[in-house]
Structure 1
Amino acid sequence: MQQQSSAQSETRPIADIEPETDTVACCGDIAVCQALAEGRHGDVFNWLGMHQLTLDGKKSLVVRAVLPGALEATVLDSKTGKKVASLSPVADAEPLFAGTLGRRTKPFAYQLQVRYPDAELLLDDPYRYPSLLDEKDTYLFCEGRQQQAWRFLGANWQECNGSKGVLFAVWAPNAQAVSVIGDFNCWDHRRHSMRFHQGSGIWEIFIPGLVGGEHYKYAIQAHNGYWQQKADPFARSMEPSPHNASRVPFDECWDWCDASWMTGRSQIAWHKAPISIYEVHLGSWRRKGHDGRDYLDYEELIAQLVPYVVAMGFTHVEFMPLSEYPFDGSWGYQPVGMYAPTYRFGSAAALKALVDAFHQVGIGVLLDWVPAHFPKDPHGLARFDGTCLYEHEDPRRGSHPDWDTLIYNYGRKEVQSFLLSNACYWLQEFHIDGLRLDAVSSMLYLDYSRKPGEWAPNQYGGRENLDAIALLQDLNTRLYTSYPGIMMIAEESTAWGGVSRDVGGGGLGFGFKWNMGWMHDTLSYISRDPIHRSYHHHEMTFSLVYAYTEQFILSLSHDEVVHGKRSLIEKIPGDDWQKFATLRAYYGFMWAHPGKQLLFMGNEFGQRHEWQHDYSLDWHLLQFEPHQQLQRWVTDLNRCYRQLPALWQRDGDGAGFAWLDCTDAADSVLAFCRFDDHGNALVAVCNFTPTVRLGYRIGLPKAGHYAELLNSDSHFYGGSDVGNGGGITTEHQPWQGMQYSALISLPPLATVYFQWQEQD
């Protein structure tokens, strides 16, 4: 950082210093001088700073510096503070200054005392410092195997030769010249031209004396001579639109208090554990201010969101993307700062505090992650160094037709390291418990959303994106190895086989896959009038045909309550009583169905309006009893779910499920059993018509008394209170493939859970 000089040290006046030789001679020739002065020389560290050279047969030291706006510059010995030389402007190459150092021939630590029209500053010359890049780091980066690239690319605090500063490093192999521009150099690309490492394509410079929070970008000159300003791909903090600058991170660390959670997480086999996820868009879960337009910050979210998720009984919270994005309407799914937590809710440290707070109360934190594409914003990754660097050069593979975005070049090793390191960054630096990968289908297929002739086949003539497949397999393998206890989740909407199968078995290696088919079918079913549901019974049963082909998460996400699809409660026909009763019955079916659960915010209390990212959820609805009762039902479902291993222990095992009746389409009734590892059963019966069915016989796996654990028609949840007096007792009459059975009162538009109870 530039600093105003202190009192004059005890040195000779500048006029008494031995005069330097011709400044142009110090720089080789005028063409070199002009290139240095204009910040377009590709090898500045061989020229700027202090160097030995031979003039007139004598060895000497020369100091060269580009100092825009300077009137005068002097070289000071850092050890003694003495002035040892003056620098003069190079003719026809302003603002380049140069000068020799008289009798001294061995390089030493120095500073530059520079006089400007309005100030005199003491500068620590960045060109006196060596490269701080590690060859092993850059080698792994170029090999596609670097998992910690953010530690040396971007802006990182370092200490060199006793000086603390920031190492800036950026990958731009095809650039002619690259400079750091920012608050600290008046955004002048001539001041801090970077050192180029030809083997890796990385440019770097160590600038001492900076402070956290300063804005910066990279000025990049392409080989056609055109200059462009780019945000740092590895920036860990960014300025909002319209300027979109990167920011030097603050030199701080978070003192985590979640060691117990992190240790325990690594011991959990999540496939055989309860997982109930609350999906949250932090910008619209709840807002504040007199007009309700201000975001809650992380501290307020700790105070409000954390206890709410705990009270609701969810096991995990899933945040929609938090990597920096310029357009609110993208909901974070078009990020330009993959390593920068968005500015909207507070600092990176505050985000860590939120994750820490969730962990301390036993709630896991998942994060939506977007490796499928990136936007074309001019300050972003598009044609980063004047060429298609991050994106595939062939538009048939590098351009996304649906979202007008660009697709990563998954076959490029450095891009692989960029994405792999980014996944590690969120898991390691923020203790995130898992990543949900957005739009995986668009990664897997070369012809995704493309017409014939708009896509190029792979080398075998197929439609599979082999580079993306290899990336996903490598990513999942590395992450599960490096971060025990995490969950990798794919949003994959096709019938691609083996999404959650081990890589060794030919799968993609994810832990879970969203069950998009179940979601589409069942929402279609409940959107029909009850009188028509009998003709579409298969929409509720078909998911069990393929339920064990993957490790599924049943997702009712944000995508189902936007763009004219209506909120869940408003998808359902009928009056309000039927809407709420049907939604309660549907949730009861969902929680008992094989697979884990995900519910988007607002659906737990019957949000009426479609989700709008610019507005808070309609929390005022909770003053009305039906919404309170629906919220209570979801809370009790979560409580019951977590307490009953039959509902989650054998999600991936077909022997953990048995239909009692999947063919009663005429009555729109479904009945089935879930079993835990010890054979204990949970019986679920669902009635999707408004007709009460008295004396409805169901098969039961064991003789004895079955307690009625939950009944969505209870008056506690807003129902008509048709029930079974607390339980049922079996008769020795085989039914529905079971040795025993019982007659039950089946409430209208309801789901009822029964559990066998051991008698004293």
Structure 2
Amino acid sequence: MNNGTTGTDNAHDPNLDIQALIRAEHGNPFAFLGPHEQHGSIIIRTWQPGALDVELLDENGQSVGRMDEHTPGLFTRTIEQRRPYRLRIHWSGGVQETEDPYAFGPQLGDLDIYLFGEGNHRHLGRCFGAQPWQADGIPGVRFVVWAPNARRVSVVGHFNSWDGRRHPMRLHPSGGIWELFIPRLGPGEVYKYEILGREGLLPLKADPVAQATEKPPATGSVVAAGVNFQWDDQQWMAQRNDAQSRTKPLSIYEVHAGSWRHRNDIDGEPLSWAELSEQLIPYVQDMGFTHIELLPVMEHPFGGSWGYQPLSQFAPTARYGTPEDFAGFINACHQAGIGVILDWVPAHFPGDAHGLGRFDGTALYEYAHPFEGWHPDWDTHIYNLGRTEVHGFMLASALHWLREYHIDGLRVDAVASMLYRDYSRKSGEWIPNRHGGRENLEAIDFLRHLNDVVATEVPGALMIAEESTAWPGVSQPTREGGLGFAGKWNMGWMHDTLSYIGEDPLNRRYHHQQITFGLLYAFTEHFILPVSHDEVVHGKGSLLGKMPGDRWQQFANLRLYLSFMWSHPGKKLLFMGCEFGQWREWSHDRQLDWYLLNYDEHRGTHDLLRDLNRLYREHPALHQRDDSADGFQWLIGDDSSNSVYAWLRRGDDGAMVLVVHNFTPVVRSDYRVGVPRSGQWRVLLNSDAHMFSGSGAGSHGELVAEEQDSHGQPSSLRLDLPPLATLILEPAGSD
């Protein structure tokens, strides 16, 4: 063992070291503790405040003798030559045997320090934080943390009685990185960092790169053995790139893991990852969704943030099990043919004392000025992505989930807040960029770099932006000036269509453009149509609750809206509970109201959504050209007096379906719609059918298109349009 020091003790007064240790202010403990040459011999010093006695052992565990205690807590012994040794420490509560942490040389390589400093260490989760490690054949844990402005950093935990005097760390001055190897520790140990800043001692800090944590409300980091899981999803991973291409169906079920279903009743415990594997996965399979999107699972202190205020960007929450349990859930999804997308939050983080805020006593991860570094909407810190190390930290976090957990995509939260320096700020309360503009140039650079790196290192992974403004090129390649995302949530479509469907049907004729407007820009980005958790909380009511009219009309409107959404260009995302028409707003503290499936209207809506997913997957015309104008053709877009819309969806090889919506509660008999082909057409779906608890009105079965031109087409169908309903048809012989 070699602690990496070669100097003697004649360089300075050892009393200064002793006083610094006593005051817990020593910033360079390896210069004094451990083995050092002195007058031709080796003096070994160990700092064990509170110990009753310390024996020096040889490498075989044989006692060399007691160490001297000249100063309370400081034990020394001189030996003739440098050799491996161990310590037997006698405490009031027992005896501890271990190697001396200060007998080991640096364990962090120069390349790791260099890559971190340039913001390009792409395996940070395997290097920083607490890593099970072997040094000179001795097992233990290597701790690495970035705190460049700290005067002293110590690892604390149950293993040292949370005493920051006992395990001060080694500083690598060139990178501001602190490191310590502690022998004989292993996975499962709870720890934090005690940091002495320029202005004094800080609250104990959780590890920014911890891969596991205690279950909230506890806030400790936990030593983990990495993602120690035997994956069985090779078949899924091999075909993922193709399965997630733009020409394939993407139907996402958005889930908050803690409130989808509880173990017992409405006030029961949330399901574990293992239980979600047993219950959620078969449900999603049966409903026909292609993907699950999880609200953020990165550990977060406040459950009421739903995960959107995370502090552990490398650790899955302990609320539902271990990191291995989480990996097992992903593995089970993949074996069932279901992809998994995670919500990921690189925009901001909460101000909890144990978190990233003023981590080393300075604004390290966040901007220093509140006009840049504090978010007025959420009372959170804003990541300073212009700082190279922070840029690299967040880049490594994204790659960690995609690589270590085989995650199929990240939905990047609050992108709009990242793009604009004046986002949600009043005049005079924001700082312009270096050109005097409102764009956050460093965040833009980060997003572009992130998407380019993901595309190179994790091919086929989906990067999706929650971006609510008209920022151009969000889902265009970076080489063309875009941000490089694979998809963008279509927030404008969502707001317009929900506003429209909330109108009394009598008034919809005056809001006709709210449906047609979205088709003017539907192909400018690679859009996902989202009806997310944000639309069913904070007094907005449930999706069913937004629907006007009596009970029958509400359910008919809901079925119509879902059918409209699934037949509209764009990939799909629906929040849990909307698929069966939950009446109440979503609450993160309660499970969904599953008992509603005992009622016909709720079961009918549930069955409709299953059929919509089946049609969407099985009919290429409904998904193959989602982001191309040649996959969509208006037939009727101007019948505002009847609130009727009709269009064709087209796929490759001539595949087509006809979609007709009637947004009024009136049956419209013998309604003529032009079609490009005469002969037999068959109804694939009538959202007012008895099987969906509808009235059973409208066209069913097969119909014949007459050779009479209409709506610019050579033939036409005479349809009976059901009230508040959708018809989807295809030419017979299309199978």
Q: Which TM-score band applies after superposition, normalised by the shorter structure?
A: over 0.9
Q: How does 1:540-689 map to 2 (within 5 A)?
A: 540-689=515-664
Bigger mean CA deviation after superposition, 34-43 or 617-626: 34-43
TM-superposed CA distance for 1:145, in Å, is: 1.2
Aligned match for 1:447, one of 419, 422, 427 = 422
Q: Decide whether the 8 Å contact of 2:219 with 2:354 is kept in 1.
A: yes
RMSD across aligned C-alpha pairs, in angstroms?
1.6
Q: Which whole-Å CA distance do the structure 2 matches of 1:676 and 1:436 have between them?
A: 27
Q: Decide whether the 8 Å contact of 1:727 with 1:754 is kept in 2.
A: no
Q: Which whole-Å CA distance do the structure 2 matches of 1:502 and 1:284 have between them?
A: 37
Q: Report the equivalent of 1:386.
A: 361
AA in 2 matched with 1:89: E
Q: Decide whether the 8 Å contact of 1:212 with 1:250 is kept in 2.
A: yes
| TM-score normalized by the length of structure 2 | 0.97
Aligned match for 1:88, one of 47, 50, 68 = 68
* Pair 1:188–1:25, CA change in 2 (3 A): farther
Aligned match for 1:100, one of 67, 78, 88 = 78
Q: Report the equivalent of 1:6.
A: none
* Pair 1:688–1:756, CA change in 2 (3 A): same
Q: Which whole-Å CA distance do the structure 1 matches of 2:244 and 2:400 have between them?
A: 23
Q: Report the equivalent of 2:250.
A: 275
Q: Give ranges in structure 2 of 5+ residues lacking alignment.
A: 1-7
Bigger mean CA deviation after superposition, 626-635 or 478-487: 478-487
Q: Decide whether the 8 Å contact of 2:686 with 2:698 is kept in 1.
A: yes
Q: Which whole-Å CA distance do the structure 1 matches of 2:261 and 2:298 have between them?
A: 20
Q: Report the equivalent of 2:55.
A: 74
Q: Report the equivalent of 1:38.
A: 23
Q: Secondary structure at the match of 1:610?
A: coil
* Pair 1:24–1:88, CA change in 2 (3 A): farther
Q: Report the equivalent of 1:351.
A: 326
Q: Which whole-Å CA distance do the structure 1 matches of 2:95 and 2:185 have between them?
A: 18
Bigger mean CA deviation after superposition, 601-610 or 42-51: 42-51
TM-superposed CA distance for 1:253, in Å, is: 1.3
Q: Decide whether the 8 Å contact of 1:215 with 1:248 is kept in 2.
A: yes
Seq. identity, %: 51
Q: Decide whether the 8 Å contact of 2:216 with 2:319 is kept in 1.
A: no
Q: Secondary structure at the match of 1:159?
A: strand
Q: Which whole-Å CA distance do the structure 2 matches of 1:558 and 1:676 have between them?
A: 31
Q: Which whole-Å CA distance do the structure 2 matches of 1:638 and 1:111 have between them?
A: 65
TM-superposed CA distance for 1:147, in Å, is: 1.1
AA in 1 matched with 2:380: T
| TM-score normalized by the length of structure 1 | 0.94
TM-superposed CA distance for 1:563, in Å, is: 0.6
AA in 2 matched with 1:65: T
Q: Which whole-Å CA distance do the structure 2 matches of 1:65 and 1:462 have between them?
A: 57
AA in 2 matched with 1:279: E
Structure 1 residue 510 corresponds to structure 2 residue 464: no
* Pair 1:194–1:725, CA change in 2 (3 A): closer
Q: Decide whether the 8 Å contact of 1:595 with 1:652 is kept in 2.
A: yes
Q: Report the equivalent of 1:261.
A: 236
TM-superposed CA distance for 1:394, in Å, is: 1.6
Q: Secondary structure at the match of 2:463?
A: strand
Q: Which whole-Å CA distance do the structure 1 matches of 2:609 and 2:581 have between them?
A: 11
CA-to-aligned-CA distance 1:503-526 (integer Å, 9 cap, x gap): 000000000000000000000011
AA in 2 matched with 1:275: L
AA in 2 matched with 1:31: L
CA-to-aligned-CA distance 1:586-613 (integer Å, 9 cap, x gap): 1111111110000000000000100000
TM-superposed CA distance for 1:26, in Å, is: 11
* Pair 1:145–1:474, CA change in 2 (3 A): same
Q: Which whole-Å CA distance do the structure 2 matches of 1:182 and 1:27 have between them?
A: 32
Q: Secondary structure at the match of 2:399?
A: helix
Aligned match for 2:504, one of 529, 545, 555 = 529
Q: Report the equivalent of 1:307.
A: 282
Q: Give ranges in structure 1 of 5+ residues lacking alignment.
A: 1-22
Q: Which whole-Å CA distance do the structure 1 matches of 2:536 and 2:400 have between them?
A: 31
Aligned length: 728
TM-superposed CA distance for 1:89, in Å, is: 2.1
Q: Report the equivalent of 1:138.
A: 113
* Pair 1:401–1:85, CA change in 2 (3 A): same
Q: Report the equivalent of 2:5.
A: none
Q: Which whole-Å CA distance do the structure 2 matches of 1:118 and 1:628 have between them?
A: 62
Q: Decide whether the 8 Å contact of 2:497 with 2:514 is kept in 1.
A: yes
TM-superposed CA distance for 1:429, in Å, is: 1.2
Q: Decide whether the 8 Å contact of 2:708 with 2:716 is kept in 1.
A: yes
Bigger mean CA deviation after superposition, 143-152 or 175-184: 143-152
AA in 1 matched with 2:70: V
Aligned match for 1:715, one of 682, 686, 690 = 690
CA-to-aligned-CA distance 1:443-502 (integer Å, 9 cap, x gap): 000000001100011111110000000000000000111111110000000000000000
Q: Decide whether the 8 Å contact of 1:64 with 1:97 is kept in 2.
A: yes
Q: Which whole-Å CA distance do the structure 2 matches of 1:434 and 1:510 have between them?
A: 11
Q: Secondary structure at the match of 1:218?
A: strand
Q: Report the equivalent of 2:14.
A: 29
Q: Decide whether the 8 Å contact of 1:142 with 1:200 is kept in 2.
A: yes
TM-superposed CA distance for 1:624, in Å, is: 0.4
Q: Decide whether the 8 Å contact of 1:39 with 1:179 is kept in 2.
A: no
Q: Secondary structure at the match of 1:272?
A: coil
Q: Decide whether the 8 Å contact of 1:277 with 1:317 is kept in 2.
A: yes
Q: Decide whether the 8 Å contact of 1:24 with 1:30 is kept in 2.
A: no
Q: Which whole-Å CA distance do the structure 2 matches of 1:400 and 1:118 have between them?
A: 48
Structure 1 residue 316 corresponds to structure 2 residue 291: yes
Q: Which whole-Å CA distance do the structure 2 matches of 1:223 and 1:759 have between them?
A: 74
CA-to-aligned-CA distance 1:655-695 (integer Å, 9 cap, x gap): 11000011111100010000001222111000010000011
TM-superposed CA distance for 1:242, in Å, is: 4.2
Q: Report the equivalent of 1:15.
A: none
Q: Which whole-Å CA distance do the structure 2 matches of 1:513 and 1:631 have between them?
A: 27
